[in-house]
């Protein structure tokens, strides 16, 4: 009798097992490659936005101080061609969840813009709800609001508060500072502009409040991209 040339059940099972093993090895590699590609695209977005922001600041000065866009969408169309750069490719909400995922602590809705994935720290569009008076180092015993004013309005905008933090630091950076002690003012130091974020992207981690030093993508004031945990000040001190 002639033997059938078809697969036996055992042979078929062996082939299926081999395919599953190979899939288990290949799929994670493909997923990591895909995520790496999305991360690279996000960093390229941030770098292009950094160039646009620097061009904007160079073109907008007041009393010798650089001004920032009212909102990030203000860069369209004169500094960036369209809104695509404002979306992180890993943002599954496509900008509808705002610049910081809803599960994050310290959510500041005044910084959110429709169609924007990034947290824009220098927004001049809304009064700052952050309790910055108990945090910032400011070399004055007078009105903090007047001291950090950039736009001639009484309310303190996010961009004004952040400019003061970058220039003079904060109590985290200057633990010996006291607003009532002028002798401590001379010891103030601000954050380096290469480690001070203008834009932040929280979409590359499942934990938006992570302490992992490489989870959050940041665009610095000088236009370079660096990574940090949610509290970027801690990593800045460690590498400074």
Q: What is the pLDDT of residues 26-57, one digit of tens each?
A: 767 656 778 899 999 999 999 999 999 999 99
In angstroms, the CA 37 to CA 28 distance is: 14
Bridge partners for 207 per DSSP: none
Q: How confident is the model at residue 93 (pLDDT cuts 50, 70, 90)?
A: confident
In angstroms, the CA 68 to CA 132 distance is: 19
Q: How confident is the model at residue 174 (pLDDT cuts 50, 70, 90)?
A: confident
pLDDT on residue 2: 53
Q: Which tokens sit at 72?
A: 């990030």
In angstroms, the CA 21 to CA 158 distance is: 53
pLDDT on residue 101: 61
More confident residue, 139 or 211: 211
Instruction: Tell me the percentage of the chain whose pLDDT exceeds 90.
Output: 35
Q: Return the H-helix or E-strand segment holding 106.
A: none
Is 0.85 topped by the overall pTM?
no
Q: How confident is the model at residue 103 (pLDDT cuts 50, 70, 90)?
A: low
pLDDT at residue 195 greater than cutoff 90: yes
In angstroms, the CA 162 to CA 196 distance is: 9
- Among residues 115, 93, 114, the alpha carbon closest in space to that of 103 is found at 93
What's the chain's average pLDDT? 82
In angstroms, the CA 72 to CA 83 distance is: 10
pLDDT on residue 5: 59
Report whether the peptide linkage leading into residue 77 is cis, meaning its omega lies within 30 degrees of zero.
Answer: yes
Q: How confident is the model at residue 200 (pLDDT cuts 50, 70, 90)?
A: very high
């Amino acid at each position: 009798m002639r033997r059938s040339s078809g697969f036996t059940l055992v042979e078929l099972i062996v082939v299926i097992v081999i395919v599953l093993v190979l899939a288990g090895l290949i799929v994670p590699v493909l997923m990591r490659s895909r995520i790496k590609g999305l991360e690279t695209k996000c960093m390229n977005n941030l770098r292009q936005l950094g160039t646009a922001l620097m061009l904007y600041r160079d073109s907008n000065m007041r009393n010798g101080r650089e001004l920032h866009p009212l909102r990030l969408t203000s860069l369209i169309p004169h500094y960036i061609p369209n809104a695509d750069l404002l979306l992180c490719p890993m943002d599954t909400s496509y900008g509808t969840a705002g610049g910081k995922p809803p599960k994050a602590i310290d959510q500041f809705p005044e910084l959110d813009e429709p169609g924007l994935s990034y947290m824009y720290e220098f927004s001049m569009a809304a009064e700052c709800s952050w309790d910055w008076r108990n945090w910032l180092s400011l070399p004055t015993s007078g009105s903090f609001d007047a001291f950090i004013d950039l736009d001639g309005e009484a309310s303190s905008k996010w961009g004004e508060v952040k400019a003061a933090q970058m220039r003079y630091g904060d109590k985290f950076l200057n633990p010996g500072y006291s607003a009532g002690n002028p002798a401590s003012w001379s010891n103030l130091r601000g954050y380096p502009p290469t480690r001070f974020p203008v834009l932040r992207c929280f979409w590359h981690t499942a934990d938006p409040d992570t302490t992992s030093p490489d989870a959050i993508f940041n665009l610095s004031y000088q236009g370079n991209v660096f990574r940090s945990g949610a509290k970027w000040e801690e990593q800045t001190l460690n590498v400074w």
